[in-house]
Structures are given as structure tokens and as C-alpha cells.
Amino acid sequence: MNSSLYYVPGHPLTRRAFLGRSATGIGAAALASALSGFATPARAASETNTWRGVVQPLHFAPKAKRVIFMTMAGGMSHLETFDYKPKLAEMHGQPMPESLTKGQPIAQLQGAKLTCFAPQHPFKRYGESGQQMTELLPKLGEVADELCIINSLKTEAINHDPAHTFMNTGTTISGRPAMGSWLLYGLGCEADNLPGFVVLTSNGKYGQGQPIASRQWHSGFLPGEFQGVHFRSQGEPVYYVTRPRGVSASQQEDVIRAVEGLNRQRNEAVDDPEIATRIAQYEMAFKMQTSVPELVDFRQEPAHVLEMYGTKGGDGTFAANCLLARRLAERGVRFIQLYHRDWDHHGGVKDQIKGTCGEVDQAAAALIKDLKQRDMLKDTLLVFATEFGRTPMAQGNGRDHHIKGFSCWLAGGGIKGGITYGATDDLGYNAVTDVVHVHDLHATMLYLLGVDHERLTYRFQGRDFRLTDVSGEVVKPILA
């Protein structure tokens, strides 16, 4: 497994380029100048190498170049956000029809009496399109005409951990690549100083903070180059990017240049392409030590932008992550995934969801507006989704996990805005019209990026695996 994300067949960088450099770079005669050369900030462009992906050429003309995937972790209630169910309100307190619930999977309500529980907040119509959404999301309402709301999503796992794994990898079995890893593997990376798949996380104050495993952004059986890199909002933004204590920036560069120099010398003796790759990776590591602090430095953002998102940055909020996502998108990162862990509302859903909606509304809307004003919305696909929805049945004054019908929205590159697609039944239990399975969502996402989901495969355990497992249909009616 000698592949490398940043060193690719066909790239102009060849082994000879390294040999040539080593001959003139750190030679015995010019040692002093070589060492002062350590401090030269920029190396030749030929030493920057980015993975270009295995899908070449693309299967379709792409509509989007990158994805910002907002995961409302914990299980966002569709009934209090995007799926308007007046009938459920009428039936409040009455028994849930057994015809719907019998023999169906159920989580914490196992063995409990199942009664209808009215939507806890009013809905209203927004925008020219008149999209129906909760009153709790007024800022998103301002961009309602950009949104394609899907009210007929279905998934297969009813507990948080497997449900996230399903949403991210297309299966509940561990060890498969996350969707970001698939995209990076298939499409490559445009950034030469940042990873191609970045994960951002934030906590809220209202729901239970359900754990999230790092497997959710792991590359599974794909090579390690393709795993998501977790950017943290507090402390070191990327693990190990901070140089050791007592080592100045120039000394750190000396060390890196010396490693590169000695590796080049060694390569003259043993002629090993892995060494060339190693040198390129030290170069990238070196760049990240500058690019990452620059990336998270929000001081360059004008006040009105900070105000629009509702953050000062660096505060670990969802809003700060939305702004960071825009900055990552600008820098060519392929797949940016945000987790907001505040949606598990088993009890007190009325107050809790109000709080949680308040944590995301302004920033998610700001992200759309900001991308639009930078003319990046047209080729950025935004997905606002969750691992599952919540029961129309009461769990005390909250709702339990629900997988048979729930909501998400998409916006941006290649998406028809201002429409609502698919529907659940009158009580919001089963997705019944234009059902969209998680596999379909994946297939559609890949399609918009120019990839046929059936043809992006990787051979493992004797089988060609894909993100969509053995199913998935592109949801054509939502495409612009």
C-alpha cells in the first residue's frame, strides 16, 4: 500500500527532480549556504503535490466542486422543524394507530404506551416559494428560496452510533470509509496546504451531548491519506501542528530542511520512491504549520461578516465553525463536515429544540448568504441533515428516535431551491411519497460532484465496495 495522497503518478514531480535538487541543494561545498537555505520559506512549486482522484475524467459534468455537510447530531425532530403535521396536533394525546407502529423498530419507548404528541411549535410560510418551516428558524426562512427541503428521508439504524455510521458510510458495520473519504479518494484535493476532508465539531446547551466516534470520519479500508482531519475549535486546531516548546519557527524549519536533506542524500543511495513521497509530506507538514494558524485567524474577517454569522470566532460554536467552513471552502477543501451535537431531545422537546434551533439558525443562513455573495454557492453543495428523526409519539414531553421518515435540506450547487420534496404520512411516521433513502442522498451528492455512485468503487475482501453499498438512486427531481 504505497499510494500517497500528495504524490501521484503522472504528476510532474519525478524522482529525478528530487535527485537534481539534492545535487544542488545540500552539497558539501555549499554547506553554509545550504543551511541558510533551510530558512527559505517557499520551495519550488514542483514539491507541492495534491491527489487528483481516481475518477478521471469525471463521469458527469459536475454541478458542485465541494460539499459542506452539516450534521445535526442527536436526531433532529422533523416535526418541529421542516415537516408540518396539523393532523398530529389534532390527534394529540390519542393512541398512535397500531397499524403504523406494530412490529416496527423502536428505541427507548420499548414496551411503552404509544400516544400522539402534537408539534410543539407553529410553522409558517417563508420566501416567494412559501416553504413551510418552523417559526424557530426565521433566518433560514430568509433564504428559504435557496433550500430544497426533503421530508421523506429514511435510514436503517435507530441508535445514535450505528445511525451516524450509516449516514456517513452507507452501512452500520464499522471499518468502511466515510463519505468524505470516498469523495477525496474519487475526486482528489484542490488545496495544496490543507487536507481535503476536514471535520468541525460543536456542542450545544440543550440536548444530550451524544458521543461521536472518530470512525465517523475514518477512511476505513481506504488508505489512511483519505481520512478526515478533525480541526478543533479550541486548543491546537490540528493535532501536533504546534512546534515543541523552546523551538523557534526558523529552528523548526531548519529541522525539517535537514530531514529533507538527509532523506535526499539517502535516496541517492537506495533509490526508493517512498523517500520522495516522505519528502513531499514533510513539505506539506511544514506548510500546514503556517496555513492552519492563518486559517483559524478570524481577525481578517470584517466586522459585518462576523456579525452576520453571530460569532467572534475561536469560541467553539456552530457559528464559528460555519465561518471556518467558508474559509476552508475558499481554500479548496473538498469535503467539510460540521457536527452540532445538541439535538437529542428525549424530554422537554418544546424548550430544548427552541434553544438548539437558536444555536444554528443564524449561522447556517449566514453561510448560504456569504457563499452567495462570493459567488461560491453555485458550486458548493450544502447539506443540512441528521442521523434520524424523532417519533410522532410522546416520550414524556419529548420524542424518541425515529428512522422511518425524517427531514433534511440541501442547497447550492446543482440543487433546485425553494422546493419541498417527498412527504411522510399525516402523522409524520412513515415516509410515503418520493421516499429518499440515505443511499439515495449519497448517490445524489456524488452525482452533483460528477461521479456515478456505482462506479466509484474500491476492492476489499474480494468485493468492489461503494458508498451506496448495493442500492441508491439519484433523486433527479431536486436537481436544478
Partner 1 sequence: MRLILLSCLAALGLTAVAPLAAEEPVRFSRDIKPILAGKCFACHGPDEAERQGDLRLDTQAGALESGVIEPGKADESELIARVLSRDPDMQMPPADSKKPGLTPAEVDLLKRWINAGAKYDAHWSYAPPSRPEVPPVDEARKEWPANEIDRFILAAQQARNLSPAPDADKRTLIRRLSLDLTGLPPTPEEVEAFVQDTSADAYEKLVDRLLRSPHHGERMAMFWLDLVRFADTGGYHSDNHRDISPYRDWVIEAFNRNMPFDQFTVEQLAGDLLPMPTNDQKIASGYNRLLMTTEEGGAQAKEYIAKYQADRVRNVSSVWLGATLGCAECHNHKFDPYTTKDFYSMAAFFADIQEKAVGRQDQVNVPSSRQQAELAQINARLAELRGKLEAPSAEIDAAQAKWEETAIAELAAARGEWRPQKPLEVASAGGQTLAVQDDLSVLASGANPAKDTYTVTLPAELERITALRLEALTHPSLANKGLSRANGNFVLTELTVALVSADGGEEKPLMIKSVEADFSQPNYPVAQAIDGNKQSGWAVAGHEKPADHQLVALLAEPVAGAAGAKLVVRLAHDSQFPQHNIGRFRLSLSSAEKPGLTSPSGIPVDVGLALETAAEKRSPEQQATIRRYYRSIAPQLADVRKEIADAEAQAKSLEEASRTLISMSGSPRMVRILPRGNWLDETGEVVEPAIPAFLGKLNVEGRRATRLDLAEWLVAKDNPLVARVFVNRLWKLMYGRGLARNMEDYGTQGSYPTHLELLDWLALEFQASGWDVRHMLKLMVMSHTYRQSSAASRETLAADPTNDWFTRQDRFRLDGEFVRDNALAISGLLSRRLGGPSVKPYQPAGHWQFLNFPRREYVHDQGENLYRRGLYTYWQRTFLNPSLVAFDVPSREECTNERPRSNTPLQALVLLNDPTYVEAARAFAARIIREGGSEPAARIAFAFRTATSRAPTEREVELLTALLEKHRAEYAADPAQAAEVLKNGDGAPPEGIDSVELAAWTSVARVILNLHEVVTRS
Smallest gap from residue 264 Cβ to partner 1 (A):
10
Question: Could you give the count of Cα atoms lying within 13 Å of 253 in the half-sphere of its Cβ?
Answer: 17
Smallest gap from residue 426 Cβ to partner 1 (A):
24
Q: Name the residue nearer to partner 1 (CB basis): 44 or 270.
A: 270
- The SS3 of residue 431 is strand
Q: Name the residue nearer to partner 1 (CB basis): 112 or 480.
A: 112
Question: Which of 360, 411, 386 shows the shortest CA–CA distance to 68?
Answer: 411
Residue tagged 503556517 (cell numbers) = 290
- The SS3 of residue 220 is coil
Q: Name the residue nearer to partner 1 (CB basis): 82 or 458.
A: 458
Smallest gap from residue 281 Cβ to partner 1 (A):
5
- Cβ atoms 389, 78 nearer than 8 A: yes
Question: Which of 479, 424, 371 shows the shortest CA–CA distance to 100?
Answer: 424
Q: Which residues pair with 436 in a beta bridge?
A: 153
- Cβ atoms 187, 53 nearer than 8 A: yes
Q: Which residues pair with 381 in a beta bridge?
A: 67, 412
Smallest gap from residue 217 Cβ to partner 1 (A):
11
Q: Name the residue nearer to partner 1 (CB basis): 35 or 474.
A: 35
CA 134 and chain centroid, separation: 25
Q: Name the residue nearer to partner 1 (CB basis): 292 or 449.
A: 292
Q: Name the residue nearer to partner 1 (CB basis): 284 or 371.
A: 284
Q: Name the residue nearer to partner 1 (CB basis): 60 or 282.
A: 282
Smallest gap from residue 270 Cβ to partner 1 (A):
6
Burial status of residue 94 (CB atoms within 10 A of its CB: 0-12, 13-18, 19 or more): exposed
Smallest gap from residue 29 Cβ to partner 1 (A):
10
How many Å is the maximal CA-CA distance in the chain? 89
Pairwise CA distance, residues 126 & 139, whole Å: 10
Residue tagged 460555519 (cell numbers) = 322
Smallest gap from residue 357 Cβ to partner 1 (A):
22
Smallest gap from residue 69 Cβ to partner 1 (A):
17
The CB density around residue 25, as the number of other CB atoms within 10 Å, is 17
* Identity of residue 207: G
The CA-to-CA distance between both ends of the chain, in Å, stands at 40
Smallest gap from residue 285 Cβ to partner 1 (A):
4
Output DSSP code: residue 118. Answer: -
Q: Name the residue nearer to partner 1 (CB basis): 377 or 443.
A: 443
Residue tagged 466586522 (cell numbers) = 303
Q: Which residues pair with 203 in a beta bridge?
A: 341
Smallest gap from residue 55 Cβ to partner 1 (A):
12
Pairwise CA distance, residues 458 & 443, whole Å: 16
Pairwise CA distance, residues 442 & 446, whole Å: 6
Kindly state the cell numbers that stand for 274: 517512498
Q: Name the residue nearer to partner 1 (CB basis): 62 or 209.
A: 209
Q: Name the residue nearer to partner 1 (CB basis): 96 or 238.
A: 238
